[in-house]
Amino acid sequence: MLRHLMYKIKSTGPITVAEYMKEVLTNPAKLLGIWFISEWIATGKNAAFQLVELGPGRGTLLGDILRVFSQLASVLKNCDISIHLVEVSQKLSEIQALTLTEEKVLLERNAGSPVYMKGVTKSGIPISWYRDLQDVPKEYSFYLAHEFFDVLPVHKFQKTPHGWREVLIDIDPQVSDKLRFVLAPCATPAEAFIQCDETRDHVEVCPDAGVIIQELSQRISVTGGAALIADYGHDGTKTDTFRGFCGHRLHDVLIAPGTADLTADVDFSYLRRMSQGKVASLGPIKQQTFLRNMGIDVRLKVLLDKSDEPSLRQQLLQGYDMLMNPTKMGERFNFFALIPHQRLHGRNHQMNACQSKPSPSPVAGFGELAWR
């Protein structure tokens, strides 16, 4: 942990006390970095891989993952890694570039090209920006979507005596500057996304998520790799999850539009269905289970054993509680993966005829691993 913090401070300058506490508190981003390396090893240590992140935010999570790659450079030394970010916001891409690249290495910009910006990360890895997943080269890749799908737009439907009706937003006739929810008077085109055997009386469907999952599934089935999706969600059990947050507090979604972040929980059963059987899907599993399978208990024990400072031990335990407690993040956040079918059956897509069939190893995080 000290080496990691030294590396971070040397790279970006002094850190705040708040950031120090966050870093010391078991930082699950490191375990995500290890997940990708674990899958790379389990599928035969390909000579190269692309790490593709959808909606990278401010680039902080990817920065943490790249530090894990740097710390495990001896494992990855013969692998040619490249970073590919799918980001539609010009403003966010600028922030990501500040977070991830060396300022002295000039960024190339090309507004008319699918790659609208590219450069080199602080650890010397080439990095490119795209507006659409389809523009990313179709190569052996690991895909990351962390709190990406929950902000994609959803259609909402209500079951009525006359069949499904889409929930629309209209002007309140009683108050001229107020919005309200209404039901469509007849069927709408998006109704086609509802399963014929749907048992819920209220359903949210995200067509954009379906398109992206189909693209990911097609890519992984052809070129290998894997996708790790981490988000708030459910497995086809919840109904009305559309909500707004302003300053981390719940906010009425129809009041002062534009001032609140709007989200809807991810329906992982819909994502699984949209993969159309082209790949195997794992999960969703709760964050508590995923991190425990990834060895967070072992990591906590090591940090506690090395710490004699009571306040630091208390911070470690509080951080662990925030990540693992079912009433906090432990059961609210979920992990879901897409992997090639042959990954589960012990067949590497690059094996040649003279190689013996390897026994399949468990997929990190989704099965218990032996930690020594």
| Residue type present at position 101 | T
First to last CA, the chain: 19
User: 55, 148 in Cβ contact below 8 A?
Assistant: yes
Q: CB neighbours of 274 closer than 8 A, spacing ≥ 6?
A: 209, 210, 213, 214, 217
Q: What DSSP character marks residue 287?
A: H
pLDDT, mean of each 10-residue run, the chain (372 residues): 69 70 61 93 95 95 92 92 96 93 74 88 94 97 96 95 94 90 93 93 96 98 97 95 89 90 95 96 94 88 83 84 87 94 69 44 78 44
- What is the chain's Cα-based Rg? 22
- What tokens were used for 38? 């674990």
At residue 330, the pLDDT reads 85
Place domain 25-152+209-238+263-346 in its CATH homologous superfamily: Vaccinia Virus protein VP39 (3.40.50.150)
Sign of CA dihedral 76, 77, 82, 87: positive
Long-range pairs for 246-254: beta carbons < 8 A, 24 or more residues apart: 254/169, 254/178, 254/179, 254/180, 254/181
Sign of CA dihedral 202, 207, 209, 210: positive
Q: Which residue ranges make up each domain of the chain? A: 25-152+209-238+263-346
Count of Cβ atoms closer than 10 Å to residue 139 Cβ: 16
- What tokens were used for 109? 């910009």
Residue that the structure tokens 């993969």 belong to = 275
**Which of 151, 152, 181, 174 lies closest to 254 in space, CA to CA?**
181
Long-range pairs for 315-322: beta carbons < 8 A, 24 or more residues apart: 315/21, 315/24, 315/25, 316/24, 316/25, 316/26, 318/25, 319/21, 319/22, 319/24, 319/25, 319/26, 320/25, 320/26, 320/296, 322/25
Q: How far apart are CA 273 and CA 276, in angstroms?
A: 6
At residue 166, the pLDDT reads 95
Task: Give the bridge partners for 276, in sequence order.
Answer: none
User: 328, 340 in Cβ contact below 8 A?
Assistant: no
Count of Cβ atoms closer than 10 Å to residue 73 Cβ: 10
Q: How far apart are CA 99 and CA 301, in angstroms?
A: 31
- What tokens were used for 354? 């003279």
Q: How far apart are CA 46 and CA 139, in angstroms?
A: 11
At residue 106, the pLDDT reads 66
φ and ψ at residue 179, rounded to 5 degrees: -100, 160
What b/e sequence results for 250-271 when a residue is b if at least 16 CB atoms lie within 10 Å of its CB, and e otherwise?
Answer: ebebeeeeeebebbbbbbbbbb
